[in-house]
Amino acid sequence: MESFPTPDLSTNPYETERLLAEYLLFHYGTSDEILPASAPPGMKDALDFAVRTTRHFSTGPVARTLDLGCAVGRSTYELSRHSEETIGIDFSQSFIRAAAALAEGPLPYQRLDEAHLRTSLLARLPAGLPDGKVAFETGDAMHLRPDLSTFDRVHAANLLCRLTEPQLLLDRLPDLVKPGGELVLATPCTWLGEYTPPENWPEGSTLEWLESSLGSHFELLRQSDEPFLIRETARKFQWTASLLSVWRRL
């Protein structure tokens, strides 16, 4: 039986309580819970990233959808609105536990405000989701299990530049997406040595690297900037523009 790498709970930041709370807020927080009273208008436009990226697929129902690096699952749940079967995969055990637990009911967490100050909040799924169409599993996007089969839609948001060898995922994508199927990739292109050794960064621009890696199997339909906002404390936010690209499998 093939063995898969186990997340290193001591060093993986995505296993920490701090990032779990940050991502529950990022994916499920209301604008009142995320934004300060003094927020400039641009901050509001950057909310709901995990919903907005899923809207780049064409409309209409499909059979199978895969969400890679799904974190605490908001995009996976959104994708399930138009898919018979949706699988969310992430390397973080604590993120996947939280994503699955949300199907059972609201999940309490502590938003960091500053120092020792926390606010108790509840993450809850939005209304109107279909029942029982989502499955979550831990897995490594660079070594996906061989029996995943193929999908009509594959979504991977802000994942590529968190992988040690992102090329391994790009090489697997042609086998994951059905002919005529769609792929939505988003990446803030924040290449950092602590996640990806510099020798595995793109040589030129990230978009050129995507085009040269995917171009013989996928047609690039369009690209755009998709802003997102992650609240770290009551006074500190990450505002980032992710490079979003939409591809059709040839």
Ligand X SMILES: C[S@@+](CC[C@H](N)C(=O)[O-])C[C@H]1O[C@@H](n2cnc3c(N)ncnc32)[C@H](O)[C@@H]1O
Contact 248, 180 (CB under 8 A): yes
Total Cβ atoms within 10 A of residue 179: 10
| Closest separation in Å from C-beta 18 to ligand X | 13
Nearer to ligand X, 159 or 183 (CB): 159
Q: What counts of helices (H) and strands (E) characterise the chain?
A: 8, 9
d(CA 238, CA 250): 36
Nearer to ligand X, 114 or 124 (CB): 124
Who's near 54: CB < 8 A, 6+ residues apart?
75, 78, 79, 155, 184
Nearer to ligand X, 159 or 179 (CB): 159
Q: Which helix (H) or strand (E) holds 177?
A: strand 177-187
Nearer to ligand X, 66 or 159 (CB): 159
Burial code (b: 16+ CB inside 10 Å, e: under 16) for 191-211 equals beeeebeeeeebeeebeebbe
| Closest separation in Å from C-beta 62 to ligand X | 20
Q: What residues make contact with ligand X under the rule CB under 6 A?
A: 14, 50, 69-71, 90-92, 95, 140-142, 157-159, 162-163
| Closest separation in Å from C-beta 157 to ligand X | 4
| Distance (Å) of CA 103 to CA 18, 44, 121, 189, 220 | 22, 27, 17, 32, 34
| Closest separation in Å from C-beta 91 to ligand X | 4
| Closest separation in Å from C-beta 115 to ligand X | 25
Nearer to ligand X, 55 or 117 (CB): 55
